[in-house]
Structure 1
Amino acid sequence: MTTTQDRPHATATTVPATDNPVLRVPPADPAAAAAYFAASLAFHADVSDVAAAFKVHREQGGELGFQLVDSRSTPSWDQAHVPGAIHLPTALVPEQAERLLDKSVPVVTYCWGPGCNGATRSALALARLGYQVKEMLGGIEYWIREGFEVETWQGSEQRAEADPLTAPTDSDDCGC
């Protein structure tokens, strides 16, 4: 059992692990945790990293290194999408992926947001076709909330500022 002396921000009371809902199932050992989190990063990218890669690509040229796929419907795509993304709705992956995507370049998929598994389904379909694939965590929702530009049927749009609950307001770097 840990005491408050072991944790600088703990409350004055000590709760046995069995009574603590967070610790009812104990944390994994460090080696297992490292393997899990390394694997997670092999499957996921976040919107800030995708945006940073696009920015470097725009400023320095060269290869982007991945293909960004919006897996949503056409009306959703028209409403707003990430500039530079390829529109490939999940249902059309089996018949259109080979025509639209280069198998030698990794793919990053996105959909609406954290409450939607469309990007996951699209990533699964692409992986089954032999593509290297990652999912962009947060989808278009967090792309917009973090203040990045989108394309719409009316042209380009960008929020005046990022949502302070999702991105730093005083820096381009969240520090993570």
Structure 2
Amino acid sequence: MVIVDGRSREAYEKEHIPGFLNLPHRDISICTTRGLDKTKIYACYCDGIGCNALTKTAMKLLTLGFNVKELIGGLDWWKRDGYATEGNSAQAGTEISCGCS
């Protein structure tokens, strides 16, 4: 599974969920997704319930033939659940690991 942050690069640089791919919905096209593996599941997120970048990202990837899920609650719920973030305005919290070495 690949987690995709569909917000702008500026929003991503300010704060994001660690280790996830930033692919702003405005930039999604056949060209910008050419290197992505269509056999994987892409879970999209944005700021939270009031943000529509999640839906725009998911719809664009879906129309390009990707298997898409939505990470409901986005960055807002991630932080409310006490998980750490990265970026210029990072928040300390529980670290996650992909289990990779």
> Could you tell me the TM-score, scaled by structure 2's length?
0.84
Of the three residues 28, 34, 57, the one matched with 1:93 is 28
Q: Which amino acid aligns with 1:72?
A: R
Which structure has the greater CA radius of gyration?
A: 1
1:98 deviates by 2.0
**Equivalent residue number for residue 105 of structure 1:** 40
**What is the SS of the residue equivalent to 2:28?**
helix
Question: 2:34 & 2:70 partners in 1: Cα distance?
Answer: 19
> Could you tell me the TM-score, scaled by structure 1's length?
0.50
Q: Calculate the aligned-residue CA RMSD, in Å.
A: 1.6
**Equivalent residue number for residue 115 of structure 1:** 50
1:83 deviates by 0.8
Question: 2:58 & 2:77 partners in 1: Cα distance?
Answer: 18
CA contact (8 A) 2:85 2:93 kept: no
**What is the SS of the residue equivalent to 2:44?**
strand
CA distance 1:142–1:113, change in 2 (3 Å): same
**Equivalent residue number for residue 158 of structure 1:** 92
- Deviation by residue 1:42-61 (Cα, 9 ceiling, x = unmatched): xxxxxxxxxxxxxxxxxxxx
Runs of 4+ deviating beyond 4 Å: none
Higher share in helix: 1
Question: 1:106 & 1:159 partners in 2: Cα distance?
Answer: 26
- Deviation by residue 1:80-102 (Cα, 9 ceiling, x = unmatched): 11111000000111131223x21
**Equivalent residue number for residue 78 of structure 2:** 143
- Give the paired residue count: 93
- Does 2:3 correspond to 1:68? yes
1:153 deviates by 3.1
1:140 deviates by 0.6
1:116 deviates by 1.2
1:157 deviates by 3.1
Structure 2 regions of 5+ residues with no counterpart?
Answer: 95-101
